Structure 1
């Protein structure tokens, strides 16, 4: 289990490697790690976490960037393992703080990042393309990049060699032996690095609870083929905007079934354009159509590839399910295919969209009722395979909720890693590697940084609590004017309630508030704040007894 009760870490000793997860350990998202040796820092990934239902109004959640703000001048590089949002989404917010941090990544990863930086209007960024097998010296860090297979092309792990020891970070990976692009996880490199000696293995944990091996991407093709063969009307396929392999499968099937393909969703259009231009996506001639062409195409001659497979409220699929999309409409007999896994925490949002589409008469095909998606993360059998190949001295599970991290740690122990060398920690845990041994030495604050529109980091937990109260419990304002010189009530009280079905019932409490105000004034109370607190207690008690609710109550007493 994660170590608890940790204090501020000690000063870092010379030739000791310090690893601090700034995100991704405890959540499936906002992945970021900081490595430090001899006063120099290296970052691996900088991703975002998407908000859940208890984050009202929040657009994105960033890693613990505030913890390293005063150390940005010491950062030698940012290494990106692949182009998914939970690994590159926070890069613009990091580069706003220092835009000349060199960013290393594969061709596709940097291309996707470049589009993101353009949207954020961040210029003059140092982007350095690398490929598998390449070694790169960056200050105190000697980097070697290793090909890994994932649900996006061009994913890489990275071996980091330092004076204090070596770290192998897998990024997100699996061991598909028949990948669609023919690029497998380089187990020969893993074995070679294992022979050299891996002091700390930072390994993907997302599927550590899943036994066996993840099926190949090719194994879902029969299920996708059945969906195309049985669809008689409009067909919508929802997937991640970065899942190039899945889009390729849909494009190929569309050609076989004489359907035109329309991309819906800004990120889908952007990413597939980048993938096509770089040669990662093969688009057959005369296959693509534009959204404006939908009204002229027969329903059985079109397939729409959409964003929104995780039920994101503003995504194209959610708008379609809510009948809010300006062009795409769903009706009885149409088919919607959700070609993705559920990210933990998104269940309610996804099922809300599925219910909305079903209510409109659509046939919704998803992983729960058909083999239409395989995960991009290694299952337990694959992780054990890697442990046995690499034989790491220490293991630090990353990328997952606590249950995933603990399950991954248990696998490492089963494979022969000593239990005391398996480091289970969460975001902000400080891990020092020295003399071939890794251990947790303290904790720093790597808490959530919320993004709400253009506001970054100025949203506190108390403000989120207020938003939840407003959304769930309601809002009541009480306004009154008093003359403190002659102790009289001049106007009001006027009570306004929002979020209550029977707002007229508040007339019953108005007379009681008036009587209490007049009595308090007659008794010599001449403090406006005291009068407001009296109103809050009275109205709060009445609402609690009447409605069993605790709304936000704003009393305003004006002294005239």
Structure 2
């Protein structure tokens, strides 16, 4: 009798055809584990939306199977959705010390204190009934990053997480090449690998190269230095602090996320701080400008970030002054180029000297370039391959890179979010789709804003609003007051009195006609007002504002 094996399923719930929102479910028998739980930031057309998180409908339907969320590292696009997901799906969370430290801060902000957080170390293995999850040390732009191997009787799945090959990391904690090669030798069924930098030839530079550039900048600086970088890039923050100490400067930290991360990293021992080097931002006026370094958020030009507020003179505690040196130690994420450029222009206008990525080697990527990806493929030697963590072009090019290394095309799965890929010992195939997509977070509302609301917001933002208020008599349907017209975002009423008066006439005539026909249904009256007014306004202005009739009956 042939023994029948259950299929091993891999279900990406985010992170494909997009940058961010990383989440992948692995299902075998009656167990599901989830790798990462990230957010992404809204696209331009998502008006008013704060963040975007993955759709976890499939996990909620199978909540009894979900055994835990396993985190590769502590970046927002891998942990940012946790507070929202854990409110609906309270399962254990596993991650390294720093990753869990950052998660704790997020959960505290959301007043979630009943989550089971489990700290693990690289080489640790978490044994479930049918799967074993192993954490393997990698290097990235944040300490404590790991790859994850999932061992099952069908085979091993290896998820690289975000990684780069850095032989000289700041914390001297090198990637565990030996264990990765060992897995490759034993045989890996499927590899899921980071595709972010697949378009870049060669290797990503070591984080240490930034240190020498910062040293030179600090040595030549005569006045106050402001350095903007990603809050989570603790190695960069460490190098900024080292340079400040070397040149006898005090360091102040600005921006909520930067303050949170620095405090967590300091408490957990990931930042080495010389005695008394950190000062509060309120104390900067007690020191001369040549004694200060400010580390701040805002390297992506985010409108509410500390650097943007400094650039627009809206920061409560600090003003950019002529002669200040501002170093933007980051590369704009695709889509953020305009906002970063705007901030740089504002800083120059204030008389600051600005150093950014185009002018100096002050940033290196945390993601593997082509040669590092080739090394990972050669070490792991997977039977099947699924590129993840990238837009479609990244996934496509990563698939082509795998083919160039000799992998058969039919063994590569370039799939979309929600697509189920099923494996057994000898074969793999696509196995349908599960519910997936974007859940939009707006203020305290999670998922209550959908396409219809976004369409209305877009309409309002482009064409404005016109409200028509009419009062009619209950007994005979005659108009006894109005129509009154209120305009917002369409025309300025005081400068368009003629247009508004004629619009009132159009509404009045439409209502008189309904009155003569003895039509009193509100829906019909509202539609008539809308249609007549829409035609008139388009004829006069070639614009289509949203028209909102309000009928009151007395």
- Superposed pair shares fold, TM > 0.5: yes
1:142-161 equivalent positions in 2, closer than 5 A: 142-161=132-151
Q: Secondary structure at the match of 1:227?
A: helix
Tell me if 1:301 matches 2:295: no
Tell me if 1:559 matches 2:550: no
Question: Does the CA-based 8 Å contact 1:152-1:242 persist in structure 2?
Answer: yes
Unaligned runs of 5+ in 2: none
303 and 52 in structure 1: CA distance in 2 versus 1, 3 angstrom threshold: farther
Name the CA distance, whole Å, in 2 between partners of 1:536 and 1:369.
56
1:298-337 equivalent positions in 2, closer than 5 A: 298-337=288-327
Question: Does the CA-based 8 Å contact 1:14-1:38 persist in structure 2?
Answer: no
**Deviation by residue 1:437-470 (Cα, 9 ceiling, x = unmatched):** 3332212221111112221121112112222222
Partner of 2:441: 451
What is the CA-CA distance between 1:330 and the residue it aligns to?
Answer: 1.6
Partner of 1:539: 533
Question: Does the CA-based 8 Å contact 1:14-1:37 persist in structure 2?
Answer: no
What is the CA-CA distance between 1:510 and the residue it aligns to?
Answer: 2.2
Superposed CA RMSD in Å reads: 1.9
* Stretch deviating more after TM superposition (451-460 or 309-318): 309-318
* Stretch deviating more after TM superposition (369-378 or 296-305): 296-305
Partner of 1:98: 89
Name the CA distance, whole Å, in 2 between partners of 1:381 and 1:366.
26
Partner of 1:88: 79
Name the CA distance, whole Å, in 1 between partners of 2:536 and 2:212.
62
Question: Does the CA-based 8 Å contact 2:466-2:490 persist in structure 1?
Answer: no
Tell me if 1:121 matches 2:115: no
* Stretch deviating more after TM superposition (145-154 or 514-523): 514-523
What is the CA-CA distance between 1:92 and the residue it aligns to?
Answer: 1.8
Tell me if 1:203 matches 2:197: no
Q: Secondary structure at the match of 2:67?
A: strand
The TM-score normalised by the length of structure 1 is 0.93
What is the CA-CA distance between 1:493 and the residue it aligns to?
Answer: 1.2
Name the CA distance, whole Å, in 1 between partners of 2:336 and 2:257.
19
Name the CA distance, whole Å, in 2 between partners of 1:197 and 1:321.
54
* Stretch deviating more after TM superposition (273-282 or 224-233): 224-233
Name the CA distance, whole Å, in 1 between partners of 2:307 and 2:281.
14
Partner of 2:268: 278
Partner of 1:512: 506
Tell me if 1:382 matches 2:372: yes
Name the CA distance, whole Å, in 1 between partners of 2:536 and 2:244.
62
Name the CA distance, whole Å, in 1 between partners of 2:366 and 2:207.
9
Partner of 1:133: 123
Question: Does the CA-based 8 Å contact 1:393-1:436 persist in structure 2?
Answer: no
Name the CA distance, whole Å, in 1 between partners of 2:491 and 2:292.
44
Unaligned runs of 5+ in 1: 1-12
**Deviation by residue 1:300-324 (Cα, 9 ceiling, x = unmatched):** 3211111122233322222223322
Name the CA distance, whole Å, in 2 between partners of 1:500 and 1:551.
6
Tell me if 1:68 matches 2:62: no
**Deviation by residue 1:467-501 (Cα, 9 ceiling, x = unmatched):** 22223321111111123644532111111111135
Question: Does the CA-based 8 Å contact 1:23-1:32 persist in structure 2?
Answer: yes
415 and 540 in structure 1: CA distance in 2 versus 1, 3 angstrom threshold: same
Question: Does the CA-based 8 Å contact 1:528-1:559 persist in structure 2?
Answer: no
Name the CA distance, whole Å, in 1 between partners of 2:160 and 2:324.
41
Q: Secondary structure at the match of 1:439?
A: strand
1:135-284 equivalent positions in 2, closer than 5 A: 135-284=125-274
